[in-house]
A and B are shown apart, each in its own frame.
Chain A
Amino acid sequence: DIQLTQSPSFLSASVGDRVTITCRATQGISSKLAWFQQKPGKAPKLLIYVASALQSGVPSRFSGSGSGTEFTLTIGSLQPEDFATYYCQQVNSYPRTFGQGTKVEMK
């Protein structure tokens, strides 16, 4: 099975900061990676698919990059509504797997 490791697990940041989250896969998954945002009590929301494509309706401050085994999610300028937990997911093969999550908290 493909394992995904996110770093960091927790991140303290301020409004306006540039934030970068990394997701590493134990084997190559081409560009078959998605990023989700989740707020307490809500279902995850798709932000990025196939590593770098912005889902419709998602603000352009969110961007994704990478291929193979290393991927990043960048929030260009953190907004108050962006404090949440972020997950990566590989859709290259079954079983599908998720990273352990990165919680972005207010500094």
Chain B
Amino acid sequence: EVQLVESGGGLVQPGGSLRLSCAASGFTLSSYDMHWVRQDTVKSLEWVSGIDTTGDTYYADSVKGRFTISREKAKNSLYLQMNSLRGEDTAVYFCVRGRNLNDCWGQGTLVTVSS
């Protein structure tokens, strides 16, 4: 079964750091473009970052310079290192598979940035 499972969310103070993980099963993660998408309680879905099969990375302007996406083939996992966190980064973060066809989403992990 194709599945994505996120972990690593939690409560962090403004200015702090957090690392999200996404474990893939049922497919080889590095053979697909992969993304992080977030959703807060008020706004719509927001694409955050992506990594393609060649390893090129992409970021939303709102997180550029603060977040880093990466993957580890041996663990079939995707990561999002989040630094200098702000209140507006509070959201549920989803790990998503695909380029033109985002057919598999994780269940999401909640990140809360608050003092």
Contacts and interface: CB of A to CB of B under 8 A. Distances in A.
A64 interface: no
B101 interface: yes
B27 interface: no
B46 A49 contact: no
Interface in B58-80: 58-61
Given A43-B106, A87-B45, A101-B44, A94 B101 contact: no
Given A46-B101, A95-B58, A87 B107 contact: no
Interface in B19-66: 35, 43-47, 50, 58-61
Contacts, number: 55
Interface in A71-107: 87, 89, 91, 94-101
Contacts of B13: none
Given A43-B106, A43-B108, A95-B58, A34 B101 contact: yes
Interface residues of A, number: 22
Interface string A28-66: 000010101000000111100110000100000000000
Contacts of A101: 44-45
A80 to B, nearest CB: 23
B98 to A, nearest CB: 8
A94 B102 CA distance: 14
B93 to A, nearest CB: 11
B34 to A, nearest CB: 12
A45 B101 CA distance: 11
A79 B108 CA distance: 27
30 contacts: A34-B100, A34-B101, A36-B45, A36-B102, A43-B94, A43-B106, A43-B108, A44-B45, A44-B105, A45-B105, A46-B102, A46-B103, A49-B100, A49-B101, A50-B101, A87-B44, A89-B47, A89-B102, A94-B50, A95-B47, A95-B59, A95-B61, A96-B35, A96-B47, A98-B44, A98-B45, A98-B46, A99-B44, A100-B44, A101-B45
